[in-house]
Every structure is written in C-alpha cells, then in structure tokens.
C-alpha cells in the first residue's frame, strides 16, 4: 500500500508539474526536454537494442520538422496530418538509410549516417522554396483545439502522452520475438541469421522506428517553436542526441527519457548562479564524467534507486 | 535418399581452394560424419551449405531444391540448423531467450498485435516458451533457464547451442565439432543426445576429430583432404583405407 501511494504520488507530481509553475520559459524548456526524450528513446532502440549506429539523427529530426511545417503552412493541412506526414517521410528515409547497414558496421556505418545528416542539412539550407533556407521558415501554427490555442502546460501533457506511448511501444516490442531477435542481432549477426531471422528486415525496422520517433520529435518541435532555421539540425545536434542516449543508458528502457530530459535541463540549471559563461563547458565535462564512471548510463542507477526506495523485486523472467 | 547433396561445389578464398569440386550426398535419417586433417575444408563445407559463405561455383540441393546463393535465414527456415565450431551464443540474453530467438520464424503475430498485447500473441508466446522449456529439458538445462549463458560450463554452452538449433525444428543439422574440448561425461551426454535426435528422424552431419565418437555414432563417413573427398564408406572400412592413413599419418 505504501508503495502504491509513493508511485501514484510520483506520477501525480510529474503530471501536475505545469500547475506548480507559471513560468512559461520553464514550461517551454520542459516541452523541449520531452521532445528530446522521444528522439533519444528512438536512439536507445536503434543503438542499445538493435546494435546499429546513427550519427545523423538530426537529419530525421529536420525531415519531420520541415515536412510538418510544409504540410500545415503551404498545403493548409491540420497539424495532425502534418505530424503524421513528417513521421511517414522520416520512416521512409530511415528504411533507405538502413540499406548501407546491411554490409557496414561500426565506424563505416557511422560515417554513412554522418553523411546522411549532412545531406539533409545541405538540403535544408539550399532547398529554399520548401525550407526557407538560412532565412528560416515562419508562421508555423501552434497547437490548438478548435479555435483555442493550447497553453504550454497543456502541450506538456500532450508531449508527455506521446512520450509515454513511444516508450510503451518500445517496451512491448522489446519483450516480444522482435525484441529478442534485435538483442540477438546486437550480439551476433550470423548466429541470428542461422536462427531463421532476416537481419536485413530487422535493421530496416530498427532504423525505421528510430527515424519515425525522430521525425515525430522534429514535427512536434516545429509547431512548438513556430519558426524553423537550419541551426537545430546540424551534426552537432546529432552527436548531442547520441550523448543523451548514452548518458541515459543505451541498454535501458528509460535511457532516452532520462538522458533526453537530463541533458536538456542540465545546461539550463548551470545557467543560473554565476555559471553563465561556462555552462556549456561544464555540461560537456559532466557528460564525459558520466560516460567514464557510469558507462551503463543513469537509467539503470535510477532504477536500482527506485527499487531500493520502494523495495521492489526484480522479476527473473526478463533480462535487462 | 539424400536429403542434401552438392554438385561440384567449389569454394575459393583468394588462391586457396577450400572445397574442390565436392559432390557429396547426405543420406536422410542417418548420421554422416565428415572427417579429415586440419584445413581439409570440413567447416568450409558447412559454411557454404548453410549460406554463411557464398559459394564460388557448383550447386547445393536440399530435398532437390537449389539452395546455393540463398540467404542464410532462408536456408535455416527450410529446416537446416547448425552449431558453430567456436560456440556462438547470445550473451545478452538468458538461456531460455537464446532458444526462443530460434522460435521467431514460428510466430505469426505482427508488430501491431505485439504492441496491443492481443490474446493471440500471448498464447503464441506461452506456447513457444513451453516448447523452448521442453528443449532445455532435453539437453538438461531446465534449471538454468533464466540464467545468463555467460560463464556456464563449456559442455552446457554446447548443449544450449544444440537446443537453439533444435528450436528451428530442423530436418537436417550440421554439428561442427560438438565434442571438441569436452570432458568424458559431457562427451557421453552429447553422444546420447545425438542418438535421440536420430530416433526423432533428424538427419545429422557431423564434423569431428574424436575417432571414438565417430565410430560410436556415424552411419556413414566422408574423408576430406585438401578440399576433396578421398574416401567414403562405413567407419570400419575407412579405418583401413591406405589413402586415409596416408592423409592422417603421412607417408612411410
């Protein structure tokens, strides 16, 4: 009973977060953090579970963002349609990017994904009729129901719900024959094939899923910001997304959530209290320290802490 | 009748001819042994037949279907399972999950029913877990089902690999040196296991160096040297073949 109260209390606290604060900058930040959490969750799936690398995730993020912006502004579609279009086109791009992974591994695959990110970035800059180029894409509609604009707090619940659904889908897939096959592929490609499993199809699915989440994140960002410029879609952002997944825990269900939220908020915390000039440097140092001293990531640590507090036992039927 | 046969199967690695125009038939329902000195092309034969290495020239037929050039996973789904000379388990999965991986081709639920957790998927999951548990019982690993295979004794790891191969419900199994590095007791376990599989109607092709083992289980023996068949027949006849003695012991 005590457990239940704690758990419900913790969930309520998170859900009610928007009520405790009126500071719209804090809420905006939390919304950005949730977007990053969705994207990093896709990377945990791709890298931690299926064993593939992508250093071009900002490419999918851009595809989702600009597709949704184009559909809503230029074609006059509702936001829902724009977001779905962003996801679909990202997934298709993800399928295509999975093709090099049939033959390439590790360094070579990461080079291809970097190149993919760069290609998308160049398109963002040069495909001016669609993207607006360096001068930006303006007038993207904000979330609304009927004629009522949603508040940042309501957007927080919307994003939180989408994040929950993303993690839930990943959880269900992981604890199924698909997830086992992906973890197996992560260990040994050839042995997985001799179990009658097509690793090509698995890699396509993994790239497609992570690209879909990145596309969703991009589309959500477009309508949150209302304006798109090429800056958030550089290689720097791609590596930042990988850092989120690694810091949160590549092999842990909560890795994307912990890393995505943690690494979005950390620099902001450091911004206060006299660290203004050094906050990016300190953030990087903290990331390096976490990777060195907690290579499993913060997700597993939080989980064991949680288990200690609520005295929960680990079920022995599932690994990880 | 031969369940698998090769026609002029050749495999070259650069200038090295590992399998040289091999035409071999594996009789259905029996245990066939492939022996020969190191580097004679035994493991290459298995790798080419299961699709792990692409064939250079020639054909491989499984039940009269041409399987040369097919993807590994397709060949496996046709009912050809294998183990590896150097054991290859999924170290990040538990023992039972290792077996369950090879049950994936039998699942019919798509991603949608998995995410929704439909009763059909749950039933499938339950049935396949039972099947995996049965196989673990067969090889004596049911108590270790939820342990990690990492750090398990060598003989148990070999048994797990065999259980995983059996999960495919194969008609033909390639076992690459199953008794290598085993203690006397483990050796006996593998031998008994092979007789059980034979009784169940599974054809086995065995690569082995341990002659006692081959003498005890093999119905038919092929001897390879430098990628070619130099002798075939019953073990007792092979044992006396002058060519075989020459290949193993060198010339007088």
Confidence (pLDDT) at A320 = 41
DSSP-assigned states of every residue in B114-153: HHHT-HHHHHHHHHHHHHHHHHHHHTT-GGGTTS-STT--
- A229: CB partners within 8 A, 6+ apart: A134, A135, A136, A137
- B133 interfaces chain A, CB cutoff of 8 Å: no
Residue A124 falls inside a structural domain: yes
Contact B132, B99 (CB under 8 A): yes
Identify the three-state secondary structure at position A14. helix
Is residue A232 over pLDDT 50?
Answer: yes
Q: Quote the minimal CA–CA distance from A49 to chain B in Å.
A: 10
- B50 interfaces chain A, CB cutoff of 8 Å: yes
- B237: CB partners within 8 A, 6+ apart: none
Give contacts of B90 with chain A, Cβ < 8 Å. Answer: 183-184, 187-188, 191-192
Confidence (pLDDT) at A279 = 77
Q: Which fold has domain B2-87+153-249?
A: Rossmann fold (3.40.50)
Is residue A109 over pLDDT 90?
Answer: yes
Burial of B84 (0-12, 13-18, 19+ CB in 10 A): buried
Average of per-residue pLDDT across A143-155: 87
Is residue A271 over pLDDT 90?
Answer: no
- Report the percent of chain A where pLDDT is more than 90: 64
Distance CA B110, CA B132 (A): 21
CA atoms within 13 A on the CB side of A32: 16
Interface test with B, best of A102, A171, A195 (most B CBs within 10 A): A195
Distance CA B143, CA B140 (A): 8
Q: Quote the minimal CA–CA distance from A253 to chain B in Å.
A: 15
Give contacts of B93 with chain A, Cβ < 8 Å. Answer: 180, 183-184, 187, 319
- Nearest Cα neighbor of B43 from B13, B74, B76 is B13
Identify the three-state secondary structure at position B155. helix
Beta carbons of B88 and A193 less than 8 Å apart: no
Residue A42 falls inside a structural domain: yes
Q: Quote the minimal CA–CA distance from B103 to chain A in Å.
A: 8
Task: Tell me what the pLDDT averaged over chain A comes to.
Answer: 89
Instruction: Report pLDDT digits (tens) over A44-88.
Output: 999 999 999 999 999 999 999 999 999 999 999 999 999 999 999
Distance CA B108, CA B188 (A): 38
Q: Where are the domains of chain B?
A: 2-87+153-249
The total number of structural domains that make up chain A: 1
What is the domain extent for residue A42? 24-233
Confidence (pLDDT) at A312 = 66
- B38: CB partners within 8 A, 6+ apart: none
Confidence (pLDDT) at A75 = 93
Give contacts of B109 with chain A, Cβ < 8 Å. Answer: 176-177
B128: nearest CA in chain A? A177
Phi, psi at A176, each rounded to 5°: -140, 180
Q: Quote the minimal CA–CA distance from B92 to chain A in Å.
A: 7
- Chain A segment 67-96 residues within 8 A of B by beta carbon are none
Rg of chain A over Cα atoms, rounded to whole angstroms, equals: 20
Bridge pairing between strands B172-176 and B80-82: parallel
Beta carbons of A191 and B84 less than 8 Å apart: yes
- Chain A segment 289-318 residues within 8 A of B by beta carbon are 316-317
Residue A197 falls inside a structural domain: yes
Distance CA B252, CA B250 (A): 7
**Six-digit token pair at B129?**
């877990």
Instruction: Report pLDDT digits (tens) over B115-166.
Output: 999 999 999 999 999 999 999 999 999 999 999 999 899 889 999 999 999 9
**Six-digit token pair at A89?**
């086109």
Contact A58, A235 (CB under 8 A): yes
Average of per-residue pLDDT across A150-154: 88
Q: Quote the minimal CA–CA distance from B104 to chain A in Å.
A: 6
- A263: CB partners within 8 A, 6+ apart: A36, A240, A243, A244, A247, A283, A287
Confidence (pLDDT) at B131 = 96
Contact A235, A74 (CB under 8 A): no
Residue A281 falls inside a structural domain: no
pLDDT-wise least confident of A14-23, A63-72, A206-215, B169-178: A14-23
Beta carbons of B114 and A186 less than 8 Å apart: no
Is residue A318 over pLDDT 50?
Answer: no
Give contacts of B103 with chain A, Cβ < 8 Å. Answer: 177
Count residue pairs from A and B with Cβ separation < 8 A.
101
Instruction: Report pLDDT digits (tens) over A167-187.
Output: 999 999 999 999 999 999 999
DSSP-assigned states of every residue in B2-55: EEEEEEEEEEEETTEEEEEEE--EEETTSEEEEE-STTSSHHHHHHHHTTSS--
Confidence (pLDDT) at A53 = 92
Distance CA B73, CA B84 (A): 15
Confidence (pLDDT) at B1 = 82
- Report the percent of chain A where pLDDT is more than 70: 93
C-alpha distances out from residue B61 to A232, B83, B176, Å: 55, 20, 20
* Out of A177, A188, A194, closest to residue B76 by CB: A194
- A23: CB partners within 8 A, 6+ apart: none
Residue A276 falls inside a structural domain: no
Beta carbons of A194 and B52 less than 8 Å apart: yes
Distance CA A198, CA B77 (A): 10
- Chain A segment 195-224 residues within 8 A of B by beta carbon are 195-199, 205
Residue B230 is given by DSSP the state: E
Residue A172 falls inside a structural domain: yes
- B61: CB partners within 8 A, 6+ apart: B4, B5, B6, B7, B67
A190: nearest CA in chain B? B52
Interface test with B, best of A50, A177, A296 (most B CBs within 10 A): A177
Give contacts of A193 with chain B, Cβ < 8 Å. Answer: 51-52, 71-73, 76
What percent of the residues of chain A are helix, what percent strand, and what percent coil, each to the nearest 5?
A: 75, 0, 25
């Amino acid at each position: 009973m005590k457990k239940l109260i704690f758990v419900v209390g913790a969930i309520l606290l998170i859900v009610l977060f928007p009520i405790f604060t009126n500071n719209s900058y804090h809420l905006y930040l939390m919304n950005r953090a949730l977007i990053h959490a969705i994207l990093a969750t896709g990377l945990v799936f791709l890298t931690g579970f299926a064993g593939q690398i992508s250093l071009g995730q900002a490419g999918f993020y851009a595809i989702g963002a600009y597709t949704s912006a184009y559909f809503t502004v230029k074609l006059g579609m509702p936001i829902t349609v724009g977001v779905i279009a962003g996801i679909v086109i990202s997934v298709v791009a993800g399928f295509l990017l999975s093709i090099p992974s049939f033959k390439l591994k590790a360094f070579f695959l990461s080079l291809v994904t970097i190149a993919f990110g760069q290609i998308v970035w160049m398109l963002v800059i040069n495909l001016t009729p669609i993207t607006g180029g360096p001068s930006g894409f303006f007038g993207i509609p904000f979330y609304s129901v009927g004629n009522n604009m949603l508040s940042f707090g309501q957007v927080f619940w919307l994003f939180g719900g989408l994040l929950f659904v993303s993690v839930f889908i990943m959880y269900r897939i992981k604890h199924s024959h698909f997830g086992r096959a992906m973890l197996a592929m992560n260990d040994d490609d050839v042995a997985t094939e001799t179990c009658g499993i097509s690793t090509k199809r698995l890699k396509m699915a993994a790239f497609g899923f992570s690209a879909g989440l990145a596309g969703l994140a991009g589309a959500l960002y477009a309508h949150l910001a209302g304006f798109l410029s090429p800056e958030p879609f550089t290689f720097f952002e791609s590596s930042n997304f990988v850092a989120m997944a690694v810091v949160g825990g590549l092999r842990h269900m909560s890795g994307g959530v912990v890393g995505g939220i943690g690494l979005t908020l950390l620099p902001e915390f450091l911004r206060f209290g006299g660290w203004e000039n050094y906050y990016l440097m300190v953030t990087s140092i903290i990331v390096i320290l976490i990777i060195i001293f907690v290579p499993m990531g913060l997700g597993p640590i939080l989980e064991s802490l949680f288990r200690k507090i609520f005295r929960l036992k680990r079920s022995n039927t599932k690994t990880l | 009748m031969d369940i698998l046969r090769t026609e002029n199967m050749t495999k070259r690695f650069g200038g090295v001819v590992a399998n040289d125009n091999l035409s071999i038939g594996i009789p259905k329902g029996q245990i066939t042994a492939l022996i020969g000195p190191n580097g004679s092309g035994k493991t290459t034969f298995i790798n080419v037949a299961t699709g792990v290495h692409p064939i250079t020239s020639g054909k491989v037929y499984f039940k009269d279907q041409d399987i040369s050039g097919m993807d590994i996973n397709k060949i496996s789904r046709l009912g050809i399972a294998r183990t590896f000379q150097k054991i290859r388990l999924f170290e990040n999965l538990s023992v039972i999950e290792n077996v369950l991986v090879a049950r994936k081709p039998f699942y019919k639920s798509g991603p949608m029913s998995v995410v929704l957790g439909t009763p059909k998927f749950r039933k499938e999951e339950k049935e396949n877990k039972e099947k995996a548990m049965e196989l673990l019982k067969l090889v004596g690993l049911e108590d270790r089902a939820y342990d990690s295979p990492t750090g398990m004794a060598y003989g148990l790891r070999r048994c797990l690999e065999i259980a995983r191969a059996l999960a495919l419900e194969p008609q033909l199994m390639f076992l690459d040196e199953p008794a290598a590095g085993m203690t006397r007791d483990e050796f006996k376990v593998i031998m008994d296991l092979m007789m059980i599989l034979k009784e169940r109607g599974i054809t086995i092709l065995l690569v082995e160096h341990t002659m006692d083992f081959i003498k005890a289980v093999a119905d038919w023996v092929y001897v390879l040297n430098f990628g070619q068949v130099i002798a075939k027949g019953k073990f007792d006849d092979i044992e006396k073949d002058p060519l075989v003695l020459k290949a193993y012991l060198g010339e007088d």
